[in-house]
């Protein structure tokens, strides 16, 4: 799977347009972790375009965040759809991975650092 991505200053924005489920979790996870190796990146911003966030998708995000932290990188997620944000709140994943309603808001928030959201 080829995930669309672009760099904004030192932040890498990755667009996930498909639902992450058991059919593609290994591929999506591998792609996300591979993008962590890009030079000049201090944070991964994962933009979840869909309204459906599965348990498998949450697991992939948590695994990616662990790898990011081990490499000294921060990570946040963007979920524009209210149902997707609700899944983050119900599971308390937003306590570990900062969640934003838009990429613009995620990029505007310069107060984050690696220690703010240790879960």
- pLDDT tens digits, one per residue of 50-84: 878 999 999 999 999 999 999 999 999 999 999 99
The CA distance from 100 to 28, in Å, is 21
pLDDT for res 112: 57
Residue 110 pLDDT class (50, 70, 90 cuts): low
Pick from 12, 9, 104, 6: which is nearest to 64 by CA?
12
Is a pLDDT exceeding 50 seen at residue 24?
Answer: yes
Residue 86 token pair: 């609700």
Predicted TM-score (pTM) of the model is: 0.88
pLDDT for res 111: 56
Residue 114 token pair: 């690696």
Query: HSE-up of 60 (CA within 13 Å, CB side)?
Result: 24
DSSP single-letter state for residue 101: S
pLDDT for res 42: 92
Tell me if residue 11 falls in helix, strand or coil: strand
Beta partners for residue 12, in sequence order: 7, 44
């Amino acid at each position: 799977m080829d995930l669309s991505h672009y760099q904004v200053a030192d932040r890498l924005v990755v667009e996930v347009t498909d639902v992450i489920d058991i059919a593609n979790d290994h591929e999506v996870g591998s792609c996300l972790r591979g993008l962590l190796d890009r030079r000049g990146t201090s944070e991964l911003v994962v933009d979840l375009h869909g309204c459906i966030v599965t348990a498998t998708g949450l697991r992939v995000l948590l695994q990616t965040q662990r790898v990011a932290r081990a490499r000294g990188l921060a990570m946040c997620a963007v979920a524009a759809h209210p149902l997707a944000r609700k899944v983050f709140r119900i599971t308390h994943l937003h306590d570990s991975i900062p969640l934003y309603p838009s990429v613009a808001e995620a990029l505007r928030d310069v107060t984050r650092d690696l220690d703010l959201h240790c879960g």
